[in-house]
Structures are given as C-alpha cells and as structure tokens.
C-alpha cells in the first residue's frame, strides 16, 4: 500500500503510507468452519463444549451460532518467514506482528509468540525482536533495553515488533511512517488492508498477491463489479499494480519500474478514472481504455 501523488485522500499526509501487508490466507475465522444457530451441528458442538470441556461462557447456548478459529504453528511460521525474508531483501526497517493476543491468547497470542520464536531461531544475527528487548528490560532495566534496540538499528538489523490490532488501526492514521512490513492473521489482514487502501485512494488502487512457497497468483483486491461490466468505467490500477508485483516477483525489475513510473505520472497529471475524478472534483473522468492509453504514452 503506497500513495500516488494526485490521488484524493482524506489524510493530511497520505505520502507517509508505504506498507506491505502479509495476510495469512488459509486459516483463522475465514476457514469457514461454522454452523448456524439452532442447527443440529451447532447444538452438538455446544453440548460437547459444555459437557466434555467444561465451557460455561456461552451465554445463550440455545440460540448461538458457533464457529471455530484454527491458527497453526505451520501457517503462522510460513507467513512470518516470508514477511521477514521480504523485509530483508528489500531493505525495510521492521516487521510488525499485528494480533489480538491480549484477548485470544492461544490463537492470536500463539501467532505472535511463534512469529518471535521463528525470527530469533531462523534469522539470528539479522534481526532484533521486541521479545529480546523485553527480556533485556527485565534483566537490566528499560534504559539498557532501549540502548540495545538503538544498537541493533545502527547495525542494520531488522526490528521485529508486535502491535495489538485495534491500536494498529489507530497508528496507521497517527504514525503510518513507523510501519513498513506487516504480518498478521486473516481477519485482521482484511480490515487492515482495506483501511490502508482508503488512505491512499480506495481499493481501486490496492494490488494483491496470493503466495505459497512454490506458486504465486497476482490479482486485483477488489471484486468483479458486475454492475459496471462492459461500460469502460472500471479503474484498472489495482490489476496493473498487481502485475507490477508479479514482475518484481519474477525479477523483471525494469519493466515493473517503468509501469510504476507511468502510473505515477498519469495520476499526478490528473489523468484518472471516474472513482478518483469524483473525489478530486477538478479533473474529468477517463474511461478504462483512455486511462490505459495514458499509461501507454508514458511507457
């Protein structure tokens, strides 16, 4: 997520937003393991929780839908590993583990703890974690911990920190420049990516990629918008910027840089599609083909 000069934004300083979000995409609430209220399956799960597990916290068991939130060590580690690798390869200053471990201690808290453990185990000597900082603070005091972090930054080490999700949503408004690479679980990632997109022009400007250890699929982050299909009104920037990510992933840096420069120049010059023109109010709206032609002229 980054800002293009000339894009309308409600932020005073949208240019401070420049983040890469690594969102776990196969687990969490989005795994879809849930049953409707009153169904035999929901009743069976609730009865099991009450009778076998001693759970007494379901306030209205007879009318409750029920869902399961799986978060695994493997899923968490592969996401955090990829985020750290990306940050090191691209010279980023930090990776932020965003979570709600203060409430969901074993799922979201596990994600945080497994992420720290992986960073310290697999990237020792290249990173400094806030978990290490906390240990120094307990043993030697806060001043010593602060000095240790300052030395790590001076030595060019990647800082691994964690942030509670609701606080993070405040921080991306108040101090977005403090965050560069973010690793988070599925639901948090959905909220965060859309909130950041709103700061830099909306989902029409937000690229996306689905990555595994061996495969990659790049796609626009927005939906199909069937209501405007065939009308030549769609903003193709999300798809084009996703293609830029694909080119970078393939190592075709020059092509990616040229396309990115063309998008920058077109938007800065006031050549934008209807979604951005409506928010700006001072430029005419271009159709999809016209905007694409404006990019082609700049390549």
Of 16, 18, 30, 194, which residue is the catalytic one?
A: 30
Of 18, 178, 190, 194, which residue is the catalytic one?
A: 190
Neighbours of 241 (CB within 10 A): 24
Of 100, 133, 157, 161, which residue is the catalytic one?
A: 100
Active site residue 100: yes
Active site residue 166: yes
Of 18, 166, 178, 194, which residue is the catalytic one?
A: 166
Note whether 294 and 276 are within 8 A (CB).
Answer: no
Which residues are part of the catalytic machinery? 30, 100, 166, 190
């Amino acid at each position: 997520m980054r800002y293009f000069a000339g894009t309308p934004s409600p932020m005073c300083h949208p240019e401070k937003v420049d983040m890469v979000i690594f969102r776990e995409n196969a687990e969490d609430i989005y795994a879809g393991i849930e049953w409707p209220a009153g169904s035999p399956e929901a009743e069976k799960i609730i009865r099991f929780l009450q009778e076998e597990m001693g759970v007494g916290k379901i306030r209205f068991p007879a009318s409750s839908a029920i869902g399961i939130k799986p978060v695994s060590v493997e899923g968490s580690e592969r996401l955090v590993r990829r985020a750290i690798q990306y940050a090191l390869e691209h010279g980023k200053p930090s990776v932020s583990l965003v979570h709600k471990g203060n409430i969901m201690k074993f799922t979201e808290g596990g994600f945080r703890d497994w992420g720290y453990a992986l960073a310290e185990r697999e990237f020792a000597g290249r990173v400094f974690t806030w978990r290490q900082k906390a240990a120094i603070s307990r043993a030697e005091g806060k001043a010593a911990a602060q000095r240790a972090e300052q030395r790590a930054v001076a030595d060019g080490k990647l800082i691994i920190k964690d942030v509670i999700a609701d606080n993070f949503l405040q921080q991306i408004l108040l101090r977005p420049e403090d965050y560069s690479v973010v690793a988070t679980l599925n639901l948090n990632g959905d909220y965060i990516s859309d909130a950041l997109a709103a700061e830099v022009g909306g989902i029409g400007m937000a690229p996306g990629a689905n990555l595994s250890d061996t495969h990659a699929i790049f796609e626009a982050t927005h939906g199909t918008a069937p209501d405007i299909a065939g009308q030549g009104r769609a903003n193709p920037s999300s798809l084009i910027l996703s293609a830029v990510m694909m080119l970078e992933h393939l190592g075709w840096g020059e092509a990616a840089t040229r396309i990115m420069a063309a998008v920058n120049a077109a938007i800065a010059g006031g050549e934008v599609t209807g979604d951005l023109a409506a928010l700006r109010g001072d430029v005419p709206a271009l159709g999809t083909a016209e905007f694409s032609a404006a990019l082609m002229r700049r390549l």
